[in-house]
Chain A
Amino acid sequence: EVQLVESGGGLVQPGGSLRLSCAASGFTFSSYWMHWVRQAPGKGLVWVSRTNSDGSRTNYADSAKGRFTISRDNAKNTLYLQMNSLRAEDTAVYYCARVGAADGPIDYWGQGTLVTVSS
């Protein structure tokens, strides 16, 4: 069974940093593109970032460029999102997600981890 379990969310002050993790199991992690998608409270889904199977390629939404870094450790079956210079508007549930093929649909989602940016 495919499982994606996020952790690392919490309350952080504006300008602060946080690193999210996503532990993957039930599939060959090193074979898949992985993404982060976020959802502000009561709002819609917004794509944040993606990385290819070996981590050599990454893409970011404009809102994340220069502040967020996606990475992965295939030996640990874990995806990361390092978030720096956090703003109030980054407050959201962050979902880890798997894509079966580059540019394809998201076929599995984690349950999400809540990040709250507030003083």
Chain B
Amino acid sequence: SYELTQPLSVSVALGQPARITCGGNNIGSKNVHWYQQKPGQAPVLVIYRDFNRPSGIPERFSGSNSGNTATLTISRAQAGDEADYYCQVWDSSYVFGTGTKVTVL
């Protein structure tokens, strides 16, 4: 079965960029979606089909996907961006990444 690997945690200084990677075999050939989940809340879609932002998602969230790695970038991290982030693809079923906890220092 297809697997998506994410770093367990990422720490970033307030106002600095944060990059969260999602590794998978030839993931560049797939559509990657990203979700943000704050404690005690349901996930929220922040990037879909590699780099598209749903309405209401701040421009500081962006995405890219090539080769074996997809990346979610928060250009200027805010305290409110502290959350768990999950990548997801379709590969005969819905597959979620292992999740990354983002801490803003």
Contacts and interface: CB of A to CB of B under 8 A. Distances in A.
A111 B49 CA distance: 24
Interface size class of A (residues with CB under 8 A): 10 to 19
B33, B45, B95, most chain A CB atoms within 10 A: B45
A6 to B, nearest CB: 10
A105 B42 contact: no
A21 B83 CA distance: 28
Q: Is the interface of A mostly helix, strand, loop or mixed?
A: strand
B45 A59 contact: no
Interface stretch (A23-31, A41-49, A68-76): A41-49
A18 interface: no
Interface in A100-119: 103-107, 109-112
B43 A109 contact: yes
Given A44-B96, A47-B96, A109 B49 contact: no
A105 B95 contact: no
Q: Is the interface of B mostly helix, strand, loop or mixed?
A: strand
Contacts, number: 52
Contacts of B65: none
A72 B8 CA distance: 36
A61 interface: yes
A59 B93 contact: yes
B42 A112 contact: yes
Contacts of A109: 42-44
Interface string A42-72: 0011110010000000010100000000000
Given A45-B35, A45-B43, A112-B42, A107 B96 contact: no
Interface of B: 31, 33, 35, 37, 41-45, 48-49, 54, 84, 86, 88, 90, 93-99
Interface of A: 35, 37, 44-47, 50, 59, 61, 95, 103-107, 109-112
The 9 closest A-B pairs by CB, nearest first: A47-B94, A105-B33, A109-B42, A105-B48, A103-B90, A44-B99, A45-B96, A111-B42, A45-B86
